Amino acid sequence: MPIRSRRRFLRIAIGGAVAIPAALRAQIQTGRDAQTNAPVDTLRRQDSVLPTGAPTRRQEGRGEQRRRAARPTDTLPLLRPPALREGSVIAIVAPASGVVKGEALDAAATLRNLGFGVKLGRHLTRGFGYLAARDEERAEEFMSFVRDPDVNCIMAVRGGYGVMRILPLLDFDEIRANPKVIIGYSDITALVNPVFQRSRLVAFHGPVATSTFDHYTLDSFRRALMSNVPAGEFSESDEFRGAVFSESRASTIVKGKAQGRLVGGNLSLVTAMMGTPYEIDTQGKILFLEEVQEEPYRVDRMLMQLVLGGKLQSCAGVALGRFTKCEASRGGEFRLSLSLEQVVRGLLEPLSIPTVYGFSIGHIRSKLTVPVGALATLDADARTITIDEAAVS
């Protein structure tokens, strides 16, 4: 594309309803070099995105991208955030989408009733399209709570969409220097896994502030976050006893037992991060996955992407949570469809990796708090997962 046309395209894109984040826009440099007057069309290297002296994406092979993304994991000792206790302060933030004011106030009241202090973010209800606020505002608010010595836990108010947009704006060294509980699920998958991999800090895939803290949810939350001993063994809750696969009791897909560190979360986010510096490393890990409102062919496509990318084959075990509303439906994309069970069994059984479907993880009422980065054992025969080490200090 000629430079003049490219400039026009960027003016239109930047001036549109959805602004390109400043940190990303700064990487795109068009025009002419000040010294040589030569045309410039390069990715500007910035410490938050490209290390000094690193090749650009066009020069860098996929293997090098993976190695560079994994370096923090390889070189830093694992940290565990301090345990929560009664009176600990939870900061409620919206790193992705926001909520209405009443939901935020109800969430704060729920956490206070559980014995915690609460700080509310400024951007919980201020909407910017489908985002709670502009990227820079959401990232700065998150980092301000990281730096706040009075805050013991940072909890997302909800998921939605938007965490991936702020990843280049987060300081993972500062997150490591101020270890505290970071928790959420759904879109927050894109936050808790990079915190583990880049900060080498155990983070948590679990309830958001607007979740229902029933007995099962609260028991797992307290065992994971309020005790410096291993949380122990968990099986499914009593929430699901339906006839169809997605709503039936937990099922063994492949028998066996495996141990590894926990990584994963929402399937859509796990696949979306592939090919980025935040791609999840599944080598020797227990990969847990959940999904909501995706037809079987879409689940098929995402699982197939993990297979083609070598992600599933490299796992020690696979712990599937609930794939809520993911059965084939009338009026769906295809008149005839495979069932969710056919997709899951058809893609995972041939891998011969211990696999279970139906853990209490995902867009459901009763949910586990899963420590991302902690060592765990998956027993596919017993359909249990055991947290083998303390996730907090």
d(CA 47, CA 244): 49
Q: At what angle do helices 296-308 and 340-348 cross, to 10 degrees?
A: 10
Across-strand partners of 131?
A: 128
Nearest-Å Rg of the Cα atoms of the chain is 21
Which residue in the list 88, 97, 186, 237 is annotated as catalytic? 186
Q: For residue 352, how far is the Cα from the chain centroid?
A: 26
Tokens of 329: 């439906």
From 173, 176, 174, 194, select the one nearest 184 (Cα to Cα): 194
Question: In the block, which residue shows the tokens 């795109």?
Answer: 28
Active site (annotated) includes residue 186: yes
Tokens of 46: 């910035």
Show Cβ contacts of residue 14 under 8 Å, excluding neighbours closer than 6 positions.
20, 25
Which residue in the list 137, 236, 290, 294 is annotated as catalytic? 290
d(CA 6, CA 121): 38
Which residue in the list 199, 341, 363, 366 is annotated as catalytic? 363
Active site (annotated) includes residue 333: no
Active site (annotated) includes residue 97: no
d(CA 210, CA 301): 30
CA atoms within 13 A on the CB side of 1: 11
Tokens of 158: 């909800």
- Going across the sheet that includes 89-93, the strands are 117-120, 89-93, 153-156, 181-184, 203-205, 370-372
d(CA 49, CA 118): 33
The catalytic site residues sit at 186, 290, 363
